[in-house]
Amino acid sequence: MSKGSKKSTLSLAALGAVARRFRALADPTRLALIQELMQGERTVGALHAAVGTSQANASKQLAALAAEGVLARRREGVYAYYRIADPSIHALCELVCDSLARRHQDAWAQVAQEVGA
Amino acid sequence: MSKGSKKSTLSLAALGAVARRFRALADPTRLALIQELMQGERTVGALHAAVGTSQANASKQLAALAAEGVLARRREGVYAYYRIADPSIHALCELVCDSLARRHQDAWAQVAQEVGA
DNA sequence: TGGCAATATCCCCATGTGGTGATATTCCTA
DNA sequence: TAGGAATATCACCACATGGGGATATTGCCA
């Protein structure tokens, strides 16, 4: 079980940590919250209004993202301002979006080819 | 509901697709299978032995990853060879690993600072 | 201090899903 | 063609989790 010997083989614990990070991003509501935060710091109220979910759910999902280190929270009086804490989030979402776009493009091309043939 | 006017705002459907892609990577067993496949094409038998899960579960998880476009399958007689179909997987995992490593490093630094103070 | 607004937490439910054992399917070979 | 090995599928269970309503907590202001 000593993991460090091989060059890039991760232990089960490390795989679990990576999985939890991915799981934090594996929900449309949380992605919508993150997308809103791409434009800058926002309060819980503004976020739950923009995303269209309940205040309770927005607070819960934001807390989950903050617990995973994806977001950071700042208190200012009654307001709680959330912001993106992990700069890699941008690159992650871009990578996935590009991959999905290419996949859809390929699917279209294949359909066109089949129809044309 | 039509929100496509802004430049980089994704629709709910698009967010769902991105979420499903992330969800495919949000499991330690599936990540272990992918990690094994980083070294090249493998059969289901070799993968379930290397990862340490049951044959049924390995087959199910591999099928799920293939359905999401992450993996591709090739039949050769009785054997089913799986391989990584989406090249962005490497970059995705590297990004997350680097981010987690930096986070742990920062946590250590903070502990050291608190102890030293 | 009383009241209101913003946020977090608690309880509950419905659904999704990882895992397993048993079974079906498919293909090779003797 | 019969048997066996590799893979996929099915039925099922246990559990995690997204979501909502109600409520608690906190801080501001009149």
Helix (H) or strand (E) holding A74: strand A71-76
Structure tokens at B98: 């680097």
Q: Chain B, 77-106: which CBs lie within 7 Å of strand D?
A: 78-80
Q: Is the pLDDT of residue A116 over 50?
A: yes
Q: How far is A101 from chain B (nearest CA, A)?
A: 10
Does the beta carbon of B91 lie under 8 angstroms from any beta carbon of chain A? yes
Query: What confidence tens digit (pLDDT) does each residue in B54-110 have?
Result: 999 999 999 999 999 999 999 999 999 999 999 999 999 999 999 999 888 777 777
Are B23 and B58 in contact by the 8 Å Cβ rule? The answer is: no
Closest residue in chain A to residue B9, using alpha carbons only: A35
Q: In the predicted model, what is the mean pLDDT of chain A?
A: 89
Helix (H) or strand (E) holding A83: strand A79-84
Beta bridge partners of A72: A83
Contacts of residue A4, defined as CB under 8 A and 6 or more positions apart, other chains included, come to none
Cite the DSSP H helix spans in chain A: 12-24, 28-37, 44-51, 55-67, 88-116
Residue A5 confidence class, pLDDT cut points 50, 70, 90: very low
Q: Where are the domains of chain A?
A: 12-86, 87-117
Locate tokens 């700042």: which residue? Answer: A74
**A59 CA to D19 C1', in Å?**
12
Q: What's the rounded Cα separation, in Å, for the pair B112 and B107?
A: 9
Q: In angstroms, what CA-CA distances link A44 with A51, A65, A74, B8?
A: 10, 13, 11, 22
Are A18 and B99 in contact by the 8 Å Cβ rule? The answer is: no
Q: Is the pLDDT of residue A2 over 60?
A: no
Q: Verify if strand C has an atom below 7 Å from the CB of A60.
A: yes
Does the beta carbon of A28 lie under 8 angstroms from any beta carbon of chain B? yes
Q: Residues A45-55: what's their mean pLDDT?
A: 96
Structure tokens at A110: 């294949």
Cite the DSSP H helix spans in chain B: 12-24, 28-37, 44-51, 55-67, 88-116
Residue A8 confidence class, pLDDT cut points 50, 70, 90: low
Are A80 and A44 in contact by the 8 Å Cβ rule? The answer is: yes
Are A68 and A20 in contact by the 8 Å Cβ rule? The answer is: yes
**B77 CA to D1 C1', in Å?**
19
**Which residues in chain A are closer than 8 Å to B23, comparing Cβ atoms?**
22-23, 26-27
First to last CA, chain B: 54
Determine the CATH number of domain A12-86.
1.10.10.10
* Kind of pairing between the strands at A42-43 and A71-76: unpaired
Residue pairs spanning A and B at CB distance below 8 A: 102
DSSP state of A10: P
Q: Verify if strand D has an atom below 7 Å from the CB of A33.
A: no
